[in-house]
Chains A and B, each alone.
Chain A
Amino acid sequence: MALTPYYSPVDPTFYPLFAFLFSAVGLAFLAVFIMSELTSKRGGKNIFSELTMALVASCTLGLGGFFVLLSAGIYV
């Protein structure tokens, strides 16, 4: 039995930086996604490319929101 200290998967000093980066990039992706959704003509939509864009936007913005919580001191 060997005990080693447990470290967080991400160093907590990076939380504010990650919060900013992921939120900024995520918001940009989400903006692009919404723009393309609302401007593209009906019939001219490709569900796979839409889902890919939605996934990229939600992953980045989701992580951004998560790191915002962590950096604000709400340790979940």
Chain B
Amino acid sequence: MKIINIVFLFLVVVGLALSNPHHHNTWVNQDVQRSIDLTTQLSKQILSVKAKSLVDNNKNYQISFDNTYHVSVQAFDDKNNELKVHLSPNSINIKEGFNTFDIELNNKYKINEVLSLKLKVTLMSQMKPYPVEIKQGQTQLVLYNDNHYFTSPYKTETQKTTVKLASGKVESFSEIKPSSLKTNTIVYGPFSNVEAFTVSPMRIHFENSAHFMVLTQLKKEYEVSHWGNLAVETSYYLENQGAHLKGPFSRLDYQRNPGANPSHISEINEAVPLSAADFYYRDSIGNISTSVYQYQSNRINFKITPRFPLMGGWKNNFYTGYNLPIQNFLSVDSADGSYHLNVTFGVGIDNIYVEDHQVKIILPEGATDIKVKSPFPVTETREIRKTYLDTVGRPVIVLNVRDTSFENYRYIQVTYNLSSLSIFHEPLLVIGAVFTFCLFIMFYSRFDLSINKSKVN
């Protein structure tokens, strides 16, 4: 019996291997236009892809990246609907050294049918300061590494790449025919008939005085209260990963001309929802001297000015918090009474790169059937937390993702059920405590604790 099972399993495995849908000749890229924006610390790329299907019933398009890259991908079809993107389960088997992502298309493509896709790709930490150490007052040069070609598991017929740099000061750039540099734009291509997984290293060495503001760790906590509040607390572990400061920091030179050292971080601006109130901030080393909340037409700008500017390689840890009115974020489904919570994933700091991103959502005590809907893959774990007036503890959803940038602004939805009586649990606990005290007084007044026996008339 066992042998039959093993043989059957073997046949299934062989069958799966033969019918593997991820072979590389399901598409051919007819034209790829790639524009790379290197004006910040991130490499923001917009790709428009026209691909022709080579098979029938084609529902899956793939893109690849070198597996050392930290990458975020968003895909849209020609009607601007967002498509699901996830790391292919057999990415390792497709090509060694590459991470291959699956894009789930909305409809099936017939043979010779043409697909047009728009991809938004963010490469994080592909730009490295070079030299790695600069003196105060020197400008920052960075070295950018990428591929001249669109990395694809399919053959690409024609393609062109346009790179927009932060400045026109280019020390050097890898030349490949045809390529051209005009002020701050480098154009690579058009190239024709590039085979799948062709890599030709692109290296651009140029001046970029953008902030290399990296959150090595970000912890965001949402605490839901059905008594009308959504409490938000965020812990930031900020690091300036630009060129490190060589030699001493001179406050005098800095104060005389703050603009001379453009890559330092002198302030941190975060967009906070307009309905936020009761702000606070604390930090571990007493570095932050000023924080201000500026009311703008569509948001509150939360600005922190550290006492010392963050020079290259310097760090700062702090946490902030505020309260939001629950009605803007929590909805109730009139059909089945379930609750839907919509919150953003990260912080509203422009062009921030988060290495280790954690979001905790603390739901009210007694929440059941908890489901999390996220537009990108997350690692989900659960824990229990006991705070004020809790008995069994509140369910906590912990979401972890590594290497995020644009995901910061995206919404996650949490659905749960909660009995409508359970919000009276907390006031009843307080009432019960006072009632117990009253019972104790009744009990006490019935005892005679006097030393002398009182006379009974």
Interface residues of A (CB under 8 A from B): 1-12, 26, 30, 33-34, 37-38, 40, 42, 45, 50-51, 54-55, 57-59, 61-63, 65-66, 69-70, 73-76
Contact = CB atoms under 8 A, between A and B. Distances in A.
Measured as residues with beta carbon below 8 angstroms from the partner, the interface class of chain B is 35 or more
Given A50-B442, A54-B438, A58-B438, A8 B427 contact: no
B434 A65 contact: yes
Contact of A76 (B328, B340, B389): B389
Interface of B: 223, 225-229, 231, 278, 323, 325-328, 330-335, 339-340, 387-390, 423, 426-428, 430-435, 437-439, 441-442, 445-446, 448
A75 B277 CA distance: 14
B320 to A, nearest CB: 15
Given A5-B331, A50-B442, A58 B431 contact: yes
A6 B364 CA distance: 14
Nearest to B223: A75
A59 to B, nearest CB: 6
Given A37-B441, A75-B229, A7 B327 contact: yes
Contacts of B427: 62-63, 66
Contacts of B334: 2-4
A58 B434 contact: yes
Contacts of B325: 12
B153 to A, nearest CB: 39
A58 B432 CA distance: 7
A8 B435 contact: no
Nearest to A51: B442
Contacts of A54: 435, 438-439, 442
Contacts of B442: 37, 50-51, 54
